[in-house]
Chain A
Amino acid sequence: MIIDHPLLGPRDASEFIYLGDASLLNRPNWDGKKSEDNFYKYLYLRENVAGMHKELWFHQQGDRSWLVISRNTVTHEIFKVELATEFKKNMGKSND
């Protein structure tokens, strides 16, 4: 696979480490009433998507950026690659 890094251009996937669903960016509040339940859902419940999926990749052998990649899990087609920092800031508000 080739990942088109927003800063570095197309790079081989072997330079990256895969983490998983980008929903990990939505970390729940720690002191809310249902915090334990929310953290359980945040950490353990995942959609098993056949199709478009936003996921986290780390450029370990590169500039150490965390990226949010929109990828079709069936065809492996990559539609969008964004810096996680930008993505998170664009989510509007931080969750804590």
Chain B
Amino acid sequence: MTRPARTKSSLININKKLSFVFNGKKYEGFQGDTLASALLANDVKLIARSFKYHRPRGIFTSGSHEPNALVEIIHDDYNEPNSKATTVELYEGLVAKSQNCWPSLKYDLMSINDKFSKFIGAGFYYKTFMWPSFFWEKVYEPVIRKAAGLGKLSKNKNNTNSEKGFLYCDLLIIGSGPSGLISAYIAGLSGIKVIIVEEDYVFGGSLNNEIFKISNMSPQAWVQSILKEIRKLSNVRCIENTSVIGMFDHGVFGAIQKLKESKIEQIFWKIMSKKALLCSGSLERLIPFQNNDLPGIMLSASIRSYLNRWSVNNFDNVLLFTNNDDTYLTALDLISNGIKLIGVVDTRDNPRIFDPKIKVFKSSQVVNAKGKLYLKGVDIVNKEGELRHLKCDYLGISGGWNPNIHLSCHTGVRPEWNEKIYAFVAGKTNVSTHLKAAGSANGKFSLNECILDAEKQVLEILLDLKMKPKKYSLPKIKEQSFEIDPFWFVKIGSQRKWVDLQNDVTVKDIEMAYAENFRSVEHLKRYTTLGMGTDQGKTSNVTGLAILASLSNKSIPDVGTTIFRPPYIPLSIEALVGSSIGKNFKPTRLTPTHNWARDNGASFTETGLWLRAEWYSQKNEYHWRMSVDREVNSVRNSVGFCDVSTLGKIDIQGKDALEFINKVYCNGFAKLPVGRVRYGLMLREDGIVMDDGTTARMSENHFIMTTTTVNAESVYRHLEFCHQCLWPEMDVHLISTTDAWAQIAIAGPKSRKIISKIVDKQFDVSNKNFPFMACKEITICGGVLARLFRISFSGELAYELSIPTQYASSLVSYLMEIGKDENIIPYGTEALGVMRIEKGHPAGAELNGTISAQNLNMGKMVSNKKDSIGMVLSKREGLNTLDGLRLVGLKPIKANHQLVSGSHLFNSSDTITPINDLGYITSSCYSPTLKSSIALGFLKNGNSRHGDYLKASNPILKTEVIAEVCNPIFVDPNGDRLRE
């Protein structure tokens, strides 16, 4: 048979041929085709195998509601499973294959399931895989997992480029069919900011499928003319290839845009809109009858769209089966294209006569479809019960139309039943809603009604926004009517009648669920899987409810409906993540001396968002321990410096600043003199330690608080809470200055020598005039503003020098220069950590959110003579038991044994079971000072166990070390060195 060329549609460019491959075979299509339209035009009817029974399936729809035609799109380095052939725009070189079949689409071995269908109906898994219970993990689950699922992931790294973006507008219009375009036009003219999004790659929605006249133009020409007018308006943005996937609270919408010929392949838009208009049209429903899933059976309007929009011209011997008027448009278009129409099987007794040329089988039903891999013919039965066989290649069915109200449910609003159109429409709510439905999505099924409704809705929105419409004109359309008969499914016949094609749910499955008392819609859905999957039952849900209603002798609104949830169409996690992957997942913060450290042999470690130098390797050092041990020894014997800028710094000023600080720390601050620093312990209101740090009183009403690196943000937030929510009457001002001031620790017995060399002459840093815990605002290097604190984390004589960030890198270079004689060295976080463990200072590993001041041996610090956050509850009985955990030091009896963090502590004679657990190790290191592994940990009744030997057991690493309990301060327990 020679076919006419596919020239009729303006939406197909026959001058641009595209070649593609499906299941290994090469085909040709044209620009404007979807994969589905190109396959149909190439006589490819069998596209997929069904989910459960592996039944042969073909293309059923022409849009994103497609349940059947799911394929795998093969890219160079990854696969896109479950792609709908009906929405994939054809491109040169596209490669696709069928999924869920083996060894081939035509001979699928798993179709054996179909033969056993009697045994594997709804609830089969629940009933069968119950016993013996140990079979589940070993046998059942692996087998089910292998058989389940549709497409397969390639498991290769996906190299598509995704981005995220934000859009703002007054009115978001979802869908660009007749009501969307009219609304965008009227709203756009008024001057408000409008965004109109279209899921398809061309604008026009259902108008692209029609050939009747609008204002004496073809619908496609009318779409182009109104689009031209809309595009003149700079306040309207038209975006195609974009699906709105969800409506969220307060007018926030998510949308996914697919881009062609661009480096960025998809953009996830977060759209903030004052108002939104749902112009998403309506979706046709099927009618279940025996074997209604054979390839060749399609929705009636989808046949029309393939015929008109895509010029698919090889339809032949077409039969239609309907309960409503819309199908006659398909019939008329088939005839006018010279395609053989066998007739229309209409369930109604007196359908309107559209054209005497159309043969109508009144009061009749299609009761069975015949054919093996394709449709060959059908049996129809009339009112009198007379059976008749009709040969046909294609059958278009229409069980009526559902307004596409998916998005209207996303904020929890249930749809409402409309008795006039036998469908659910968007529910009303007493909450101010941002979304209205218009046109066909609002249940107005004829074109003239649809356009009038869009006008009405958009004028109401303009009124709400206090905008006046400008002059506009509406297109001229011939009156149309829409009538429908509530016919839901064919009762005749005992073979399977398919309701949900994607999930292989049949009328029988629904009957079984009902018989087994799964009678609520929510139970029905979960028991049978009706309405699940990539199409979310867009063609089948309401039909399923109707069958349940008929079983229970209830009306559909009485049966109720399940609710739609986002997303409207499946989207990849990648689309939501955008470019926030790998190193882009979170920002990286660099210390002020980062580049200097990088150039001087540092390797870096992540602490929170920060990258910090962990140690500085020298030429002869081939193991990190060599560098760390050397750094510790240098500091303990001479001098070193370390960038500690990452510690949180909060500047606190105001008349009530001291009182405020006294309330947020549990220890006393009321008597802190000017020029002095104090260690502060901060509790949560429940009495658990939140953070620790130091606070310096620079002047009467000016304080600088430091926090640990990781808690910098949360402590700052907490202080703002205390100020704004608890004591707003206090005169206190807080600001984080972490990034503004660099802080360099200079530590070691020779640190004063170094400090004296940089501090300007007028400042005296002698031990007498600048003792331990002193602080002062000074200048260095001839006038650079700085703050000097005599505090020590290492346990040595030490200073912390604070300078504006921009001077930090010059300062450290300068320190290297002037410290040559003392062999000054930079040290990293690892040496810092070793020295603080040697000194028994708690840090992040100890302040783990379960530890009280008591546990840290700091119980007495909590002053009960004043109000402070956490004081009252820190006195709770449970936090103050005598045998509670206490911070202890641990030392292995053999120096070469290694203590490991996370190990638990047991009496040496006890077995390793949870009941004997006495505590755990929080920090451990090799101490070059003690030449032994050491650790800090929490031990029950720890203070009275110094000198005892315990087992430190780590069942994960399978290590067990005998260790002696000791004072957690290993080095200089009296703190003499600090004060030298």
Contacts and interface: CB of A to CB of B under 8 A. Distances in A.
A66 B724 contact: yes
Nearest to B684: A43
Interface in B706-744: 713, 717, 720-721, 724-729
Contacts of B875: 36
Interface in B242-294: 248-252, 270, 272
A47 interface: no
A52 interface: no
Given A17-B717, A66-B724, A77-B431, A36 B867 contact: no
Contacts of A42: 685
B413 to A, nearest CB: 9
Contacts, number: 81
A39 B727 contact: no
Contact of A84 (B250, B251, B724, B876): B724
Nearest to A93: B729
**B724, B726, B867, B875: residue with the most chain A Cβ atoms closer than 10 Å:** B724
A88 B726 CA distance: 8
**B686, B867, B872, B873: residue with the most chain A Cβ atoms closer than 10 Å:** B872
B371 interface: no
Contacts of A84: 724-725, 728
B721 A66 contact: yes
A76 B724 contact: no
A35 B720 contact: no
Contact of B873 (A17, A39, A58, A65): A39
B432 interface: yes
A30 B876 contact: no
A36 B872 contact: yes
Interface in A24-78: 24-25, 27, 30-31, 35-36, 39-40, 42-43, 56, 58, 60, 64-66, 72, 74-78
B873 A78 contact: no
Contact of B250 (A2, A27, A39): A2
B867 A39 contact: no
A96 B663 CA distance: 11
Contacts of B717: 17, 58, 60
Given A2-B252, A17-B717, A75-B431, A43 B685 contact: yes
Contact of A85 (B713, B728, B867, B871): B728
A7 interface: no
Size range of the interface on A? 35 or more
Nearest to A83: B724
A34 B702 CA distance: 36
Contact of A12 (B272, B429, B431): B272
B975 interface: no
Contacts of A65: 724
A8 interface: no
Nearest to B686: A43
Given A17-B717, A78-B250, A94 B729 contact: yes
Contacts of B729: 89, 94
Contact of B871 (A24, A30, A83): A30
A94 to B, nearest CB: 6
Nearest to B876: A36
A32 B720 CA distance: 26
B74 to A, nearest CB: 37
B873 A96 contact: no
B250 A76 contact: yes
B250 A1 contact: yes
B412 interface: yes
**B270, B717, B868, B875: residue with the most chain A Cβ atoms closer than 10 Å:** B717
Contact of A88 (B272, B431, B724, B872): B724
A27 to B, nearest CB: 5
Contacts of A78: 250
A25 B250 contact: no
Nearest to A30: B867
A2 B867 contact: no
Contacts of B432: 77
Given A36-B876, A75-B412, A77-B431, A1 B727 contact: no
Contacts of B686: 43
B789 to A, nearest CB: 26
Nearest to A3: B250
Given A2-B252, A30-B872, A75-B412, A66 B867 contact: no
A42 B872 CA distance: 12
Contact of A89 (B250, B272, B728): B728
Interface string A1-18: 110000000001000010
B310 to A, nearest CB: 41
Nearest to A64: B720
B399 to A, nearest CB: 34
Sort A-B residue pairs by CB-CB distance and give the 4 closest, nearest first.
Answer: A30-B867, A2-B250, A85-B728, A76-B249
Interface of A: 1-2, 12, 17, 19, 24-25, 27, 30-31, 35-36, 39-40, 42-43, 56, 58, 60, 64-66, 72, 74-78, 83-85, 88-89, 94, 96
5 contacts: A60-B713, A66-B725, A75-B411, A88-B724, A94-B726
